[in-house]
């Protein structure tokens, strides 16, 4: 979805630079040079963009819901681990970049959704995603958000990343998380409390071409993902006037459940053992959050999360 919008924005830029308005493209390139670090220094959100009416219809289409299980004290900074990635990451965008739900449920906290740095190199597109409250997923960007004195900032990181989108099949509960420990180290270094977030229904929005591990398609996808930085899942869903085939996501409810915070004491130089211990605790709390709420959202009792 992001890649389609980014391609459109890049296409507009190419038309400008090759047309009679080339000077506008040159001016924008100068602006891009001067503004290059903004995605890593808190971005440039616009409440006007975040409040567009179209986002209300976007949330109501599925619909998207945000569920609170515990208070989050705005005196602290938080790192929210979002799971699973899915294809569209609709729950993360709908709840943390649009609408009043997060603000109403967690007053005093400002959410920052971190996405891959590559998206901020695309002309015009970078302005759009920053205006919605998205910032870079670089270490510098996460540190900037979590280093806010007095608290009140919430970094939202899709832990499984682009790689996890290749597992986004309906019914899939496989999370790419066992080797992902950088977010744990960041939480320790900044004393940011960890909060597991599970978005029920995220993997039900699209059907993906079968790509089991070891298949030629999966091998190609993984190689492309390593080279380009983002994955290319082959997905389909419904059309505008029919439900058999198209690229419009299915109307499946999404319930994004925000768990209780794991209190983290600041440790500027955490050891490998300390990182491992906190990572294990995070996995335990994430699994507990899933088990406590899966029955409310249609997950069979015998189904459990798979960590890989």
Residue 123 has a pLDDT of 83
How far apart CA 182 and CA 45 sit, in angstroms, is 26
The pLDDT tens digits for 167-196 are: 999 999 999 999 999 999 999 999 999 999
Residue 7 has a pLDDT of 56
Decide if 229 contacts 118 (C-beta within 8 A): yes
Residue 231 banded pLDDT, cuts 50, 70, 90: confident
> Is 29 contained in some domain?
no
Tell how strand 78-83 and strand 193-200 pair up.
parallel
Rounded average pLDDT over 252-273 = 97
How far apart CA 113 and CA 218 sit, in angstroms, is 28
Domain range for 221 is 37-307
> Is 62 contained in some domain?
yes
Which two three-digit tokens encode residue 145?
A: 């958000």
Decide if 256 contacts 65 (C-beta within 8 A): yes
Instruction: Note the pTM of the prediction, 2 decimals.
Output: 0.92
- Backbone conformation region of residue 43, classed left if phi is above 0, alpha if psi is from -120 to 50, else beta: left
The pLDDT tens digits for 54-63 are: 999 999 999 9
Q: How far is CA 190 from CA 151, 184, 185, in A?
A: 11, 10, 9
DSSP 238: B
Rounded average pLDDT over 105-126 = 92
> Is 12 contained in some domain?
no
> Is 23 contained in some domain?
no
pLDDT(252) > 80: yes
Which residue reads 């409040």 in tokens? 51
**Number of structural domains the chain divides into:** 1
Residue 10 has a pLDDT of 65
User: What is the overall mean pLDDT for the chain?
Assistant: 92
**CATH code where residue 122 lies:** 3.40.1130
Of the candidates 262, 260, 249, 253, which has an alpha carbon nearest to the alpha carbon of residue 296? 253
Decide if 262 contacts 281 (C-beta within 8 A): yes
> Is 7 contained in some domain?
no
> Is 3 contained in some domain?
no
């Amino acid at each position: 979805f992001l890649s389609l919008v980014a391609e459109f924005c890049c296409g507009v830029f190419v038309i400008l630079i090759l047309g009679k308005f080339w000077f506008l493209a040159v001016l924008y390139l100068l602006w891009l040079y001067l503004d290059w670090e903004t995605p890593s220094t808190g971005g440039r959100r616009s409440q006007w963009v975040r409040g567009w009416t179209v986002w209300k219809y976007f949330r109501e289409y599925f619909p998207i819901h945000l569920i609170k299980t515990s208070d989050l004290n705005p005196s602290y900074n938080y790192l929210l681990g979002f799971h699973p990635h899915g294809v569209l990451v609709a729950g993360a965008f709908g709840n943390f970049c649009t609408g009043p739900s997060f603000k109403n449920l967690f007053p005093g906290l400002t959410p920052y959704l971190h996405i891959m740095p590559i998206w901020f190199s695309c002309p015009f597109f970078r302005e759009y995603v920053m205006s919605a409250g998205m910032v870079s997923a670089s270490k510098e960007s996460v540190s900037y958000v979590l280093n806010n004195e007095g608290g009140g900032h919430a970094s939202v990181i899709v832990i499984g990343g682009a790689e996890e989108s290749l597992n986004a099949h309906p019914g899939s509960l496989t999370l790419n998380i066992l080797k992902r420990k950088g977010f744990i180290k960041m939480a320790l270094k900044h004393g940011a409390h960890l909060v597991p977030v599970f978005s029920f229904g995220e993997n039900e929005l699209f059907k993906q071409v079968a790509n089991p591990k070891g298949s030629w398609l999966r091998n190609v996808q993984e190689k492309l993902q390593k080279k380009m930085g983002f994955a290319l899942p082959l997905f389909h869903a419904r059309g505008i006037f029919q439900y058999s085939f198209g690229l419009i996501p299915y109307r499946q409810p999404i319930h994004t459940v925000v768990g209780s915070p794991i209190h983290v004491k600041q440790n500027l130089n955490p050891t490998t053992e300390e990182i491992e211990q906190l990572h294990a605790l995070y996995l335990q709390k994430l699994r507990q959050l899933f088990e406590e709420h899966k029955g409310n959202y249609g997950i069979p009792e015998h189904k459990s999360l798979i960590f890989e």
